A and B are shown apart, each in its own frame.
Chain A
Amino acid sequence: MENIKVIVGLGSCGIAAGANKVFEKIKALKEADNLKFELKKTSCIGMCYREPLVEIVDDNGSYLYGDINEKKAAELIEKHILENEPIKSYVVQTDLFETPDKDFIEDQVKITLRNCGYIDPEKIEEYEVRGGYRAIRKIAGQRISRLDVIQTVINSGLRGRGGGGFPTGLKWKFANNNKADEKYIICNADEGDPGAFMDRSVLEGDPHAVLEGMIIGAYAIEATGGVIYCRAEYPLAIKRLNIAIEQARENGYLGKNILGIDGFNFDIYIKEGAGAFVCGEETALIASVEGERGMPRKRPPFPAESGLWQKPTNINNVETLANIPWILLHGSEEYAKYGTEKSKGTKVFALAGKIKRSGLVEVPMGMSIRDVIFKLGGGIQNDKKFKAVQMGGPSGGCIPAYLADTIIDYDSVNATGAIMGSGGMVVMDETTCMIDVAKFFLDFTQKESCGKCTFCRTGTKRMLEILTRITEGKGEESDIEKLEELSYQIKDSSLCGLGQTAPNPVLTTIKYFREEYEAHIRDKKCPAKVCKQLLTYEVDPEKCTGCTVCAKNCPTDAIDGAKKEVHFIRQDDCIKCGTCYTKCKFDAIKIY
């Protein structure tokens, strides 16, 4: 039994699904019977839809068990460990036999997520065993020059994974060109896109990969200081980063004359973000690190010339940095083998929304959206009709079902009007109202606008008002044109990416779902039955049992009917709150 390893996935998703309880249960059972197997922790492996996950590795191989609760955990100990009989029906992934979740794993190529779910993120040795810190050791050992490191990154074709898609190597080159006594490298871990969580998973699951990426970057551009700007909503990520930084210092990867490279002095500290989406913008992020209001400023000068404390500064996203050690270790050709002509490598996507298998996937660039959603993601929940996928968060757009064969690379996604963004993919089905989605994003950007540029500050508010009006059945014929006009004005007259892209969700939904806007405006109907003001509630006489629950709960007493008789909703008094619909146990309230 000493050879058996039991590994519990303790990422944020896993913990939310109850992984801590499972871990404690297994620990208690192990201690109670003095069992000799090894109990370990790891982080997110990406199969969020199967959390909590427990992996058992024995002499035959690895068995990943999904949907484990305390009871099932006890069964696993009993059967698999004590009786050496794996419980096949709980297995979601193994190389030993086929599982229903095979499609989720098969086509993935894990570079960024190479260690997530395989190592204990709080132990530097486990990162080192899997090739960690070997890239920086190689650079130090072979005395690879700064320019060669930069050239390798340029050759790999790696583009910024935060959304912009600017070639990372070029960015480093600019920062390297600017000479100064102090220079900074900043890791942007302020993952603000609602619907995206890949950076969180990387930080929680493999913090050392990000640190090593920063150390290599610091070497390449001769940075003297490093900052990780991490959002405060990710307490677990911050905790693990702090542990990792401490370990990196103890092991000589941070500090003075790192790994014997003369004059290479570099250290990293964490700056907790305070909750502002606009701080994803480079100049706003710098202002925030300096302790100011996070408002963007005009460029040039670009941060590469004058950034943090007016010193040359290079900013990379978490996912970008996590790729760096792999590229340096395996070479640029190996990385560039994956992907399309202009978008190399792999990209991590956070699948969420109305999709069967939600979670994190890493796929080579060039895979079609259809394959990601239907093959890896398993299709739409409850087998409803696929309507659209939202990519790029508030700066992105909705790609309709008929464009599902679009391949995933920066240029193809941009051509649809959406953007690659940081990699959130929120899947929508026929029950999602596209105007409601557009309104949701506008509400977000409108609140998050820093207020500096008039069009962004006031224009988004006016757009939100128009959208709200449409969803309330007060839309006017000219509203679509007004929205379009405002959109172009906001795009043209905003200083930073937030304003320049804020209208994208509206523009793409108008482009692809114009008939839905028209249904709201002309027919005062919401085809997806989401916009409450546009719905009509009626009692189905066939199904109504006269239980009176709806009438009792109706806040405006708009429902008539005696006990055991069919009820009736007086439309004039109905405020369309939907209470009757949720309270009815007999499915007798119909929505039109």
Chain B
Amino acid sequence: MRIARISGEKITKEQEQVDVNLLDSLIEKYKDKKGNLIPLLQGTQDIFGYIPREAFEKISSEAGIELSDMYGVVTFYAQFRLNPVGKHIIKVCHGTACHVQNANAITDALKELLKINDGETTEDGMFTLESVACLGCCSLAPVMMIDNDTHGKLTGGQAVKIIKNIKIKESN
């Protein structure tokens, strides 16, 4: 069931203060439109990278949507996250084409490098590792997408190299 997708990741570090005022214009835009729940949640995630509890409460009270309805929708769709994500999101494609071209090797190599499991974020908050169903670049399989850049025809080693390069850039 879809609900199993939400990682049971525990947040150990102090969560950042969430500035819910950032939501004002979004809520204003969608408040009275029908079918507004998904766009509201998508907009929220664009702002914070995930959907913080405070945002749930604010949207619920200002747009008049039941909290239970919101939670139901958030947990149904793969796109929504309830936990903060790293600065860079690594999406490893596990579509059919990538699977037969050994996408597992990429996920395994990155798990080992970053010392996290699928769906988790590194301790320094730099990377989040996710598996996705299909990025639609099947002819370049196996593929991973980091933020909005797609990398194709990978091996585990190449994937590791790409991440290491980002790490070097970040530390400079």
Contact = CB atoms under 8 A, between A and B. Distances in A.
Contacts of B2: 276, 447-451
A17 B151 CA distance: 7
Interface stretch (A338-346, A351-359, A405-413): A351-359
B77 A294 contact: yes
Given A272-B42, A291-B38, A12 B137 contact: yes
Contacts of B35: 271, 289-291
A26 B63 CA distance: 50
A574 interface: no
Given A235-B148, A274-B38, A293-B72, A195 B95 contact: yes
Nearest to B80: A274
Given A12-B150, A291-B38, A447 B5 contact: yes
B1 A275 contact: no
A91 interface: no
Given A276-B77, A292-B73, A448-B2, A16 B99 contact: no
B139 A49 contact: yes
Nearest to A227: B35
Interface string A194-209: 1111001000000000
Interface in A168-207: 191-197, 200
Interface stretch (B18-26, B54-62, B118-126, B128-136): B128-136
B36 A291 contact: yes
A145 to B, nearest CB: 33
Contacts of A192: 133-134
Given A12-B150, A235-B148, A353 B101 contact: yes
A390 B100 CA distance: 11
A289 to B, nearest CB: 6
Contacts of B137: 12-13, 16, 197
Contacts of A292: 37, 73
A276 B139 contact: no
Contacts, number: 149
Contact of B96 (A233, A294, A390): A390
Contact of A48 (B41, B79, B135, B139): B139
A451 B133 contact: no
Interface stretch (A424-432, A469-477, A511-519): A424-432
A285 to B, nearest CB: 12
Contacts of B3: 451
Interface string B27-66: 0000000111111011000000000000000000000000
Contacts of B39: 272, 291
A393 B96 contact: yes
B79 A274 contact: yes
A16 B76 CA distance: 30
A159 B150 CA distance: 34
A353 B136 CA distance: 13
Given A16-B140, A16-B150, A358-B138, A277 B133 contact: yes
A387 to B, nearest CB: 11
B106 interface: no
B42 to A, nearest CB: 6
Given A191-B136, A359-B139, A447-B5, A293 B97 contact: no
A194 B133 contact: yes
B168 interface: no
A440 interface: yes
B138 A276 contact: no
A437 interface: yes
A274 B133 contact: no
A350 interface: yes
Contact of B78 (A13, A275, A293, A309): A275
Given A12-B150, A428-B100, A193 B134 contact: yes
Contacts of B4: 447
A352 B76 contact: no
A444 B133 contact: yes
B92 interface: no
Contact of A233 (B77, B80, B105, B136): B136
Contact of A352 (B72, B139, B148): B139
B73 A293 contact: yes
A313 interface: no
The CB with the most chain A CB atoms within 10 A, among B36, B94, B98, B99, is that of B99
A352 B135 contact: no
Contact of A232 (B79, B94, B152): B79
A232 B42 contact: yes
Contacts of A424: 96, 138
Interface in A333-391: 350-354, 358-359, 390
Nearest to A235: B148
A37 interface: no
A518 B78 CA distance: 36
Interface string A246-283: 00000000000000000000000001101111000000
A275 B97 CA distance: 19
A404 interface: no
A274 B78 contact: yes
A90 interface: no
B34 to A, nearest CB: 7
Given A12-B150, A428-B100, A440-B99, 15 more contacts: A16-B143, A51-B140, A191-B136, A194-B94, A195-B96, A233-B132, A233-B135, A276-B77, A276-B78, A293-B72, A309-B34, A358-B138, A432-B100, A451-B1, A582-B156
14 contacts: A16-B140, A16-B151, A193-B134, A194-B96, A195-B95, A195-B96, A197-B137, A232-B42, A274-B80, A275-B79, A354-B100, A437-B100, A441-B96, A450-B2
Instruction: Return the 4 tightest CB-CB contacts between A and B, nearest first.
Output: A194-B95, A48-B139, A195-B96, A275-B78
